[in-house]
Amino acid sequence: MTIQQSIARLSFTIKKGNKPNETDQLALNKVIRDLNANAKENIEEHHLFAKLYAMVLKDFTRHYKDVEFANVQLNKELSLPIGVHIELLRLQLVAQNVDNFFQSKGIRDPLLKQNNFETYKHLFPESSTAEFLEAQEAWDTDNTTAHLVNTVNQSILCFKK
């Protein structure tokens, strides 16, 4: 019996209000087997996505202390356009670059709170505005997108079965 025949059979039984019989049971089992096989095939086809989903769900669950809420939040993130995630990645990369710039100059507090400004003011003459701008502008949207596309494709190729 095909999946279409199984669904037709179950629809007929329900529509007529008939008591399910052995054929209906076979039809229901066919639908369940096909759904389970489809789910397994889907996971195998999207193995890397499944791994990443599990990793992020673990982190969200740790953060939110509730797996159902974490799953809802994860799906909200997945519903956002890819451009939003690329921009958030870009902002993180810029922040990391700027932080690395300050650390390379011996500045441990890039916010330069008033109470520690005196500690760092001697370092400013050694720091060039051009270097700072380079650190800040290294990751534009095109550069970030190109790197992301490249890294994602490399990962897919490395893990392709």
Q: What distance in Å separates the CA atoms of residue 122 and residue 144, rounded to the nearest whole number?
A: 34
Q: What is the pLDDT of residues 11-46, one digit of tens each?
A: 888 998 989 999 989 988 988 999 888 888 888 888
Per-chain mean pLDDT for the chain: 87
Task: State the pLDDT at residue 101.
Answer: 84
Are residues 30 and 3 in contact, defined by beta-carbon separation less than 8 angstroms? yes
Rg of the chain taking only CA atoms, in angstroms: 27
Are residues 123 and 105 in contact, defined by beta-carbon separation less than 8 angstroms? yes
Q: What is the pLDDT of residues 101-139, one digit of tens each?
A: 878 877 766 565 555 656 666 666 666 778 878 888 889
Q: Is 28 exposed, middle or buried (0-12, 13-18, 19+ CB in 10 A)?
A: middle
Give residues with Cβ within 8 angstroms of 27, minimum separation 6: 1, 5, 6, 7, 9, 10
pTM of the entire predicted model? 0.69
Give residues with Cβ within 8 angstroms of 141, minimum separation 6: 86, 87, 90
Q: What distance in Å separates the CA atoms of residue 101 and residue 109, rounded to the nearest whole number?
A: 11
Give the residue-averaged pLDDT of 144-151: 95
**DSSP-derived secondary structure letter, 65:** S
Q: What percent of the chain shows pLDDT beyond 70?
A: 86
Task: State the pLDDT at residue 131.
Answer: 80
